[in-house]
Structure 1
Amino acid sequence: MSRSFKVFEYEKITIKKDAFNRYLTKKELDKLYEFNDTNNNKYFVPIRDGIKFCNYVGVIQIGQLTIEILPKIDNNSNNKNDYNIWHSALLDMLKYCKYISIDSVSEASLKKRHNSILDIYFELFVSEIEKLVHKGLIKKYRPIEGNLKNFKGKIEFSKQIRYNLIHQERVYTKHQTFDYDNLINQIILYALKILKGITFDEDLLNRIKKLEYNFPEIKSFHISSNHFEKIQIDRKSITYQKAINVAKVIILNYSPDITIGRENMLTILFDMNKLWEEYIYRILKRLQNDNLIISRQEKDKFWEKREIKPDILIKHIVGENIQKYIIDTKWKIIRKNKPSDDDLKQMYVYNLYFESYKSLLLYPNSELQSENFGSFWKGRSNPEQNQCKVSFINVLNEKGKLDFSIGENILNKLIT
């Protein structure tokens, strides 16, 4: 029987049931340990009989278990409503940052399913393939060579001599055929087969089985990252772009386990630091105008071949002058407006290298805190021209939804 539960960043789960009836079996725990080991231990911290999650959010499916990992930026006691709030906030953030296209999933499908991130990827992929099948799968030319009774194409003379010296009634030829057996359809079919083996939804399973009948005589083989690099999207195949993108996520994050049987694994995880940076950049980018230029990760040489690049660089044009500001996003909790020395040293270097007088260390927080610029005492003759502010922004609005109106508030904290 399938089961699922939600956790927050930095929560712990063990083989013992907790207050929310969450637990791992020994096989599931071993699979998580193995997965973490092969990924430089960046996703969890192993603990006694369990794991502690890190700053990666998303979803993990191991056999019959689905774990959804959610962001959270306070230490208040957890309850079911907290998980629902941050579940919605994460989906909205992924959608806003173009990591997932929820608009392509029908409202009916969203309501009937328990709607984890994995469910949405599955539904999105199957819906896209149904659209493509309805329009007709793409055909492409491909080369074929073989020993034929009838002449077709051009003769491969070296192989004709090798194979047909006695059987002169045959001709070894090479020719072109126009059919469905091409890399794009092969990738789509491979992803469908993965979904068929791991989905628990009977309706989705029936839709996948129905779709498989529309892939006639297409070779099925293991797809790797190299195959995606070979894809060439042209005018005829542009409608496949979204399906290929989702197929890539599914295929490259799937880890079949041939030794444990049903404990196959599929992971879709996002670094919350990078997602937070992407979200803030997009929020600010939509406020760009002729006098305000927002750019991200502009590079400058630092030492030898090393480069430095702040998260966000703002250029504010005032008359003939250009004032520059730096924002560096940090998805972590700090107390009493005291950033780490490493973070402050980083901002000090950014100010000097990018000719910025003011910079902002931007943290998420659900509690308002006082903010003031502090000065670096070296580097410029006037300390007021080398300042940094530790700043906090609410991720959620008063209704507990992701706040899309924080851009002007962030700019007001920096540009005076």
Structure 2
Amino acid sequence: MAKPDLKHIVVFEHQKLLVDQGEQYLSESQYQALVNYYGNHSPFYSLIRNGVQFCEYVGALQIGDTLIEVLPKADNSNDTGMWQNLLVNMIRSVWGFPVKESGSSHLKLRHNSVLDLYFELFVVEVEFLVRRGLVKKYIREERNAKALKGKLSITKHLQKNIVHKERFYIQTTQYTINHELHQILYCTLQLLSRLNRNGILASRIGSLMLNFPEQSRLKVTPQAFERIRYDRKTIIYKKAIDIAELLLLNYHPDVSQGRRNVLALMFDMNALWEQFVVNLLRKSMKSYTVAGQVTRKFWKSEHLSSNMRPDIVLTNPQSNKRIVLDTKWKNLGGKAPSPEDLRQMYVYHEYFNAEKVALIYPGEGSNTSGQFYLKDQTALDNKFCHVLQIPVNRDFILWKASIINVISGLVCLFDPQLHEDSLIIKAKD
């Protein structure tokens, strides 16, 4: 029996969805599913009168047969295709690759959402593992048996077999393909077979289900993933297990009716933008040490303390000169940065002894440089804060190149001896 197509709702961050109102709307049952989900999970949206309002989290929420896709937006463009492409490629750049030996060229589906991307990433990984040959592990088992094979567990034998003298409670070790790594993968394949609505991907999932050895049931908890220890033979499973963890722990079944199961794959856009820029700089600025989230002590009382943590610190290892960057996923819209953002950069200037500090925003606008005032307000200080605004480009490769070129231009202002061509990202990256 064919599965029904997903109802696909596309909204942008900070937008609202109301019940039975507007061109795109929620049904009453979908709204109730989101209300129930909100009650036991960190919110990706706020509940408003007769609807929900999304916040800075973007990604996908699948409620039964309805997919709500929340896209980022940094300018006035309502081109959903452009913003969807940007989000998927940012996630690929930060978390999605490399995909083992199968290579990224195998990811040929048109991804209609972040869910499609992660579903295929997982399928490609498991296909690779099956082709390579699934790894067996030694598993310790304890059970009652009618013959003494292995080690007798004396304490439990006395507890369980006082009446049944013919039985032995034994410990044995088996070299088997039925272990926790494969149990997690099999459980995830079962989840994908229920949720996936992509016809091309469905045949690949079905083929994996047929070829994958049946596994014992596993109770999916965060602790199940924390217990995993990789060795030389099983390290190749890590990518697939990481994706499985993301999918399984964000799936919330509707145990009462079974029709409004929720899978939430949502990402903080501010954190994604920050990590995306950090990764670009690490790949391209080989002459600098690129550190993300550098912590410095800032304040302390008898029982409490507070730290400061800029997004990115660039350090020249030869001269020890520093640039501090803070990424902000918001559109200034022709206005000045907020006083909070500027105060933050002033403190970074002082505490990190930075040569330059800069705020990095997406969107249209001229790049500028401003000075802080002296404390007595009589004149301007020699401390500058740069404001860099980088327009989003439909061509993702060109957008990455423009981000690096704008930041490299700032670096070369105070480090002119640095070869600029060593900073510019190549299109193939």
Q: TM-score, normalised by structure 2?
A: 0.85
- Closer/same/farther in 2, CA of residues 52 and 402 from structure 1, 3 Å limit: farther
Q: Name 2:35's counterpart in structure 1.
A: 33
User: Would you say the 8 A contact 1:276–1:329 is kept in 2?
Assistant: yes
1:174 aligns to 2:171 (yes or no): yes
Deviations 1:102-135 (A, max 9, x none): 7856658504xx5321112112212322332233
Q: What is the alpha-carbon distance in structure 2 between the residues aligned to residue 368 and residue 413 of structure 1?
A: 16
Among residues 367, 374, 378, which one is paired with 1:377 in the alignment?
Answer: 374
1:142 aligns to 2:139 (yes or no): yes
Q: What is the alpha-carbon distance in structure 2 between the residues aligned to residue 117 and residue 181 of structure 1?
A: 31
User: Would you say the 8 A contact 2:374–2:381 is kept in 1?
Assistant: no
Q: What is the alpha-carbon distance in structure 1 between the residues aligned to residue 375 and residue 242 of structure 2?
A: 48
Q: What is the alpha-carbon distance in structure 2 between the residues aligned to residue 108 and residue 241 of structure 1?
A: 19
Distance apart, 1:161 and its partner CA = 4.1
1:345 aligns to 2:334 (yes or no): no
User: Would you say the 8 A contact 2:141–2:172 is kept in 1?
Assistant: yes
Q: Name 2:298's counterpart in structure 1.
A: 302
- The farther-off stretch of 170-179 and 206-215 is 206-215
Distance apart, 1:323 and its partner CA = 2.5
Q: What is the alpha-carbon distance in structure 1 between the residues aligned to residue 258 and residue 145 of structure 2?
A: 43
Aligned partner of residue 386 in structure 1, secondary structure: strand
Q: What is the alpha-carbon distance in structure 2 between the residues aligned to residue 210 and residue 107 of structure 1?
A: 17
RMSD of equivalent CA atoms: 2.8
Q: Name 1:404's counterpart in structure 2.
A: 400
Q: What is the alpha-carbon distance in structure 2 between the residues aligned to residue 225 and residue 172 of structure 1?
A: 31
Q: Name 2:228's counterpart in structure 1.
A: 231
Q: What is the alpha-carbon distance in structure 2 between the residues aligned to residue 99 and residue 216 of structure 1?
A: 27
- Closer/same/farther in 2, CA of residues 247 and 390 from structure 1, 3 Å limit: same
Deviations 1:298-352 (A, max 9, x none): 11110013211111112246xx743322111111122334111111111111111
User: Would you say the 8 A contact 2:96–2:121 is kept in 1?
Assistant: no
- Closer/same/farther in 2, CA of residues 388 and 153 from structure 1, 3 Å limit: same
User: Would you say the 8 A contact 1:105–1:120 is kept in 2?
Assistant: no
* Alignment of structure 1 residues 91-170 onto 2, 5 Å: 91-99=88-96, 109-111=108-110, 115-164=112-161, 167-170=164-167
User: Would you say the 8 A contact 1:189–1:215 is kept in 2?
Assistant: yes
Distance apart, 1:8 and its partner CA = 1.4
Deviations 1:362-381 (A, max 9, x none): 1111x2325122224239x9
User: Would you say the 8 A contact 2:7–2:67 is kept in 1?
Assistant: yes
Among residues 171, 174, 186, which one is paired with 1:189 in the alignment?
Answer: 186
Q: What is the alpha-carbon distance in structure 2 between the residues aligned to residue 108 and residue 415 of structure 1?
A: 38
Q: Name 1:66's counterpart in structure 2.
A: 67
Matched pairs, number: 402
Distance apart, 1:197 and its partner CA = 2.2
Distance apart, 1:38 and its partner CA = 3.2
Task: Supply the AA of the counterpart residue of 1:15.
Answer: V
Q: Name 1:47's counterpart in structure 2.
A: 48
- Closer/same/farther in 2, CA of residues 83 and 401 from structure 1, 3 Å limit: farther
- Closer/same/farther in 2, CA of residues 191 and 110 from structure 1, 3 Å limit: same
Among residues 186, 189, 196, which one is paired with 1:199 in the alignment?
Answer: 196
Q: Name 1:4's counterpart in structure 2.
A: 8
Aligned partner of residue 264 in structure 2, secondary structure: strand
- Closer/same/farther in 2, CA of residues 166 and 341 from structure 1, 3 Å limit: closer
- The farther-off stretch of 160-169 and 135-144 is 160-169
- Closer/same/farther in 2, CA of residues 260 and 306 from structure 1, 3 Å limit: same
User: Would you say the 8 A contact 2:60–2:266 is kept in 1?
Assistant: yes
Task: Supply the AA of the counterpart residue of 2:246.
Answer: V
Q: What is the alpha-carbon distance in structure 2 between the residues aligned to residue 166 and residue 183 of structure 1?
A: 34
Aligned partner of residue 109 in structure 2, secondary structure: helix
User: Would you say the 8 A contact 2:107–2:121 is kept in 1?
Assistant: no
Distance apart, 1:168 and its partner CA = 4.3
Deviations 1:56-87 (A, max 9, x none): 111110000112211111134x3xxx111111
- Closer/same/farther in 2, CA of residues 407 and 382 from structure 1, 3 Å limit: farther
User: Would you say the 8 A contact 1:10–1:55 is kept in 2?
Assistant: yes
Aligned partner of residue 152 in structure 1, secondary structure: coil
Distance apart, 1:88 and its partner CA = 1.1
Distance apart, 1:214 and its partner CA = 4.3
Aligned partner of residue 98 in structure 1, secondary structure: helix
User: Would you say the 8 A contact 2:358–2:387 is kept in 1?
Assistant: yes
- Closer/same/farther in 2, CA of residues 284 and 384 from structure 1, 3 Å limit: farther
User: Would you say the 8 A contact 1:190–1:222 is kept in 2?
Assistant: no
User: Would you say the 8 A contact 1:88–1:401 is kept in 2?
Assistant: no
Task: Supply the AA of the counterpart residue of 2:129.
Answer: L
Distance apart, 1:55 and its partner CA = 1.2
